[in-house]
Structure 1
Amino acid sequence: MAHLRGAGQAMTDCSPDLRRDCLDNLLEGVIVIELGGTIAMFNPAAGRILDLFPDAVTGRAFAELFMSRKGFEEFSDLVLDAIENRGKAGRQVVTLHTGGEEQLLSVAISYIRSRCDGSAEPTAVIVSFSDTSKIWELCMAKAVDAQRGELQMAYRQIEEHKALLKKSQAARVLATVLVIGVFLGAGAYTWQSRNPLRDSFIATGVDSELPLASAGADEGLRTVTVEPQTLHRTISLVGTLAPWRTLNVVSPVSSRIGAVHFQYDQLVKEGELLIELDTSEANREHRDARVAYIDALEKFEALKNWEGSAEMADARRSFARASLELKSQRNRLDRATFLLDQGLIATTEYEDTEQQYQNQKLDFDVAELDFEAVRARGGKDARDRAELELGNAREKMLELEENLQQSAIHAPLSGIVLLPGQSDSTGIAAGQSVEKGEVLLKIGDLAQMSAVAKVDELDIVRIRNGQAVSVTGNAFPSLRLEGTVTHVSSQAKAQLQGAPKFDVTVTLDPLVTSQRELLLAGMSSNLTIAVYRNDNALLVPIDAVEQQGRSNHLLVVHPETGEVEVREVEIGNTTLNSVEIVAGLRPGDQIVIPED
């Protein structure tokens, strides 16, 4: 018993060290914070989790350390709330944002309560926490594995359903083929039973010695020899004549119109003066830009030789003067110290001398800071900034000089002057304000002409670039012009009523002088676009073609035996009474057609 009592007494004596060892070896971070906000304890685990040194943290204010750290907002708010709202314990998960990564902490709040005075009031806050990020990642990985298994199971079920669907679809296809075969057989039987040539052609054939027309005269049939013919298809449109190209003339600067030297719809020559801009405002801006450039140049030159500038000289003199005065005051303080040690001066006199020295030292420190500040004003950053400002000022000045040179606007090409393009535009006039880049007018090039028409959605699919066009007009009845489709719009123009319309542009062939004199921009025109042409087309009467489902057939006389055979053909374009055969028939073949 005595031995046990001794061991217990020894453990009690070393219990503070034991508690400290236990705290240091905990895997959880522990922080003990006094209610005044001072950190009393901070174990190594807390340092590892929060990336702090325990010795550098203990004894300092929690708010001083953590309120300014980015990413610790949730953790700081939780701890400060526990300090302010005493007695509110519990556990909560918070997020730390450190080094671009998220860290999840499980934080438990508890309190130390005094046992000395018997009161229930807490005296300190215990914050214990652990990093649960890896646990969370493991949970997420298990959840992903579980979801992956569910997806694999669902995929296998889908594959099984697909196999069943394929079997059912094969059965449906087989049934559909059988039904179609039944209908085709019934149709063939019906057609053969109704064909007036069936008995005569199949049973007896055609006598090679006897013409087919006379052989079938009783049945109202005759033969026709197919020969190549010319077939062409056209689309007729109504369009408007326009210059073959237009060029926008824009304002080079923001200004006012000084003078206008043209009229709209007037013919002008390349280089002819059209507009003069008011340059009074531009001149003022140019003068201001020159002043700014001179100021920037002076500033840059001053910074290049900053060490030799007047400001650096003044700062250097002030600093030297303060240094000398501090040295002189130091000598006075040394003499006063010696005299005080010898008992030759009173203590108050020594204290006055020491106070004067401290004041002079403050003046010296201020003079040194001022000197460094003045020197920094001529550093590399300041010189680079001054150089950039000088470049900007130079570019601004040169830009305004160029604008002044562009105050006179000339015609970029020969042509007709047109309105800017807005439907409600009335053109420009003297005194009007214009912005940089604003379209003032258009020049239409009349060296060639074009025609613009609108086409509906049914015809636009047959029009292509390069198709030949014939152009006529009521205003120029003696002319028949030729041209080519040069542009087909890929997007319809919005229409309030009716079907969508697409723009088609036709460029006319170069005009001679006599033709150009008869044409004006804006005249209406009639356009005939050749959308199809075949000079060797094989045309047969529409009544001669027998349609069976999706295939077409002709009765053709065999050139050697004279027998009539049913031949499958491929048809092309049609006219009012004939159809083009593009495959299955050759020039010179004889076909059987009904008598007119």
Structure 2
Amino acid sequence: MMITDTSGQDVRLTPRKSRKPLYVLAAVLLLTTTGILLMPTLSNWSSAQASVPLQRLRLAQVTQGDFVRDLSVQAQVVAAVSPRLYSPAQGTISFAVDAGAQVQQHQVLASIDSPELTNELKQEESSLQKQKMELDRKRIQAKIQHLENQKSVDMAKVALTAADREKRRADKAYQSSTISQIDFEKAQDDLQNARLVYQHAIQDAELDEESLAFDIQSQQLQVNRQTLLVAELQRKVDELTLRSPVNGIVGNLAVQDKNQVTRHQAILSVVDLSQFELEVAIPESYADDLAIGMDAQVSFNGETHPATLVTLSPEIENNQVTGRVRFATTAPSGLRQNQRLTTRILMENKPNVLMVQRGQFLESGNGRIAYVVKDGMARRQRIETGARSLSNVEILAGLSPGDTIIVSGTDQFDGAQWVQITQ
């Protein structure tokens, strides 16, 4: 009996090739590629002495262009013309206007009743009138004396003429031996005496004229002096009526109506609202860099208006220097006194300068250290800075255009040479 086996049911299978070497090869290639790609990162990581997230940093790129050194300050609008009126003498004040009233130039604002000054003016006017009368009296006396002197000269001339005639008669009589020698000599003496009297009369008249002219001139000078004194007192009396020197608005009244005021006491001020300037308070650290005549820019209602720095205080108060900025053209409309505006003073303009955005890194490294960012790493680099503006700082050495540096504070790096920047 033959037993049947299972060979008829068997199926011959083709043996499969093993893929394990392929997997191993792929893994090796993957690890090699990853190692090559991660090699710089691993190298940076190994050389980095600190690691900082990018979100905690502020970066800026080094650029080249025109560098404008400026200073931004808050300015207060003040009236360019705001005269203050003072009392010219002691008296009682009476106001003709109220505070805040709009006035015109030469309009009466107040008056001061000063009996003492008014009485002094009347006394000096009386003295002036008296001196004028004295001058007129001297002029009349000069005329009288002039007539007396002329009379004396004329009488001396008549006597001289008579003596000359007697001399001629004596000459003829002496030639005919009618008179004696003594009478002839007497006629000669009388003629000589008449001549002397005439000459002295003329000289006396001239001296009297000079003396009278001197007296009149002296009296005239006294009158002139008194006239000036009266004019000065009249000016002071006229100043008792206070008038507005400009068109504007009356400021606060320094005294009450009908009160007593002393000489040189402040009374009121008038504000001319048609002319405005800006008063700026500048930190003393910029005092040496500023100069009168520098350009400025004033921001008002979204517009920039050109201006000029016109005054600069020579002294420092409260760590600040006070200056005045005046609009280059007509002041913009809508300004109000004591209004605050942002003013930019342009201190310097340098063309084609290497610069970077200003930041805390200047204080962290005293302007000599910067961290240059490249490929996720920040490298410590020595630099040299120059002028600083409100937004930028000049780079003199150590950086090139296009470099990216950390402009935020670098104290957190503790002086590390390399810093890794993580995402």
**TM-score, normalised on structure 2?**
0.49
Question: RCO (CA 8 Å, sep 6+): is it higher in 1 or 2?
Answer: 2
Larger Rg: 2
**TM-score, normalised on structure 1?**
0.37
